[in-house]
Amino acid sequence: MKIVGLVGAGHMGSGLGWALRAGGHDVVTSLAGRSARTARLAHDAGLRIAASPLDVLAEADVILVVTPPGAAVDAATEIAALAATPSVAARPLVVDLNATSPTTAAAAAEVITAAGLDFVDGSISGPPPTVRPGARIYLSGPRATEVAELHWTHATPVVVGDRVGAASAVKMSTASVYKGLMGLMTQAIRSASVYGVLDQVMADLGEGFGTPYEVALAATKAHRYVAEMHEIAQSQAGAGLTPSLFEAFATVWSDVATRPLAVGQPETLPRDITAAQVADGLTQ
């Protein structure tokens, strides 16, 4: 049974680690330099804690990287530097699961392969398995099948192909819809509240475009969404489309990230939060 190392044991990383532990894998991460919240999530998921990232790299057969999109290349650079340490003989397979454009995925792959390690491009669609089972793990690259053959539980691996960037392209397309619609709903709630017509707007829209809870949940992740919107814009520009739409959404989420509602933690958000409470938390 392969040992799986995690770089980034936050909400999603810990959830994936928990799902792999349920499949029988030994999942190890380091909490060096990480927050108290990350430590709590990692312990709750039952992950094994190593003293340092170097120890994780030395032990693991596969490294899953789950960081904010803007940190993807930095994480790859750190892994490459650790791999160059003379005491490290291990050569784990590195799987980048970040929400990045194909161009950024290729940049991370270049850093990793230059260090003599193999790279798999990946992306995640859905919430952490600890929140709701069923996330899809998209994978691409020459060794993608090996990652799909890990004992995943509560998540479904999908091999897209052997080209690095393909799995990231799936994420950029699906996230443009999911987070784009949530951005529209967020703006609708905020503007309706200012005009005093929030009840009527929510009644008219129903739950087809996102409940107040889902909007609030997105707000707690807004700081991560900003970089992801830039990545989507870059991805769409690479497809010959205008990047303007998602550069604008980056501005929306950047503003949301400064509001009181954004400082909450997704795992403690009350599910019965109302639209009025959401609007209040986004306007103070």
Integer Cα distance of 268 and 275 in angstroms:
17
Coil vs helix vs strand at 282: helix
Integer Cα distance of 101 and 68 in angstroms:
13
Integer Cα distance of 283 and 262 in angstroms:
11
- Residue 224 token pair: 């991560």
Is residue 86 pLDDT above 80, yes or no? no
What stretches of 115-195 show up as alpha helix (H) in DSSP?
144-148, 166-195
Integer Cα distance of 276 and 284 in angstroms:
12
258 by Cβ neighbours in 10 Å (0-12 / 13-18 / 19+) ranks as exposed
Q: What is the DSSP string of 116-131?
A: T--EEEEEEESS-TTT
The letter for the amino acid at 10 is G
Q: Which residues of 5-31 are buried (b: 16+ CB within 10 A; e: fewer)?
A: bbbbbbbbbbbbbbbbbbeebbbbbbb
- What is the dotted CATH code of the domain comprising 3-164? 3.40.50.720
- Say what the pLDDT of residue 216 is: 97
Is residue 87 pLDDT above 90, yes or no? no
The letter for the amino acid at 135 is A
- Say what the pLDDT of residue 85 is: 85
Query: Residues 103-108: what's their mean pLDDT?
Result: 98
| pTM value > 0.75 | yes
Integer Cα distance of 274 and 277 in angstroms:
5
| Local confidence band at 123 (pLDDT 50, 70, 90 cut-offs) | very high
For residue 107, the number of C-alpha atoms closer than 13 Å in the C-beta half-sphere is 15
Residue 107 backbone phi and psi in degrees, to 5? -65, -40
CATH class of the domain whose range is 170-283: mainly alpha
Integer Cα distance of 80 and 151 in angstroms:
26
Is residue 225 pLDDT above 90, yes or no? yes
Residues 6+ apart with CB under 8 A from 180: 245, 246, 249
Is residue 208 pLDDT above 90, yes or no? no
pLDDT in tens, 38-48: 999 999 999 99
Integer Cα distance of 146 and 92 in angstroms:
12
Integer Cα distance of 119 and 152 in angstroms:
19
127 near 147, Cβ under 8 Å? Answer: no
Query: Residues 129-155: what's their mean pLDDT?
Result: 97
| Local confidence band at 74 (pLDDT 50, 70, 90 cut-offs) | very high
Q: What ranges do the domains of the chain cover? A: 3-164, 170-283
Least Cα distance to 273 among 217, 202, 198 occurs for 217
- Say what the pLDDT of residue 244 is: 98
Integer Cα distance of 222 and 256 in angstroms:
6
Is residue 105 pLDDT above 90, yes or no? yes
Residue 6 backbone phi and psi in degrees, to 5? -115, 125
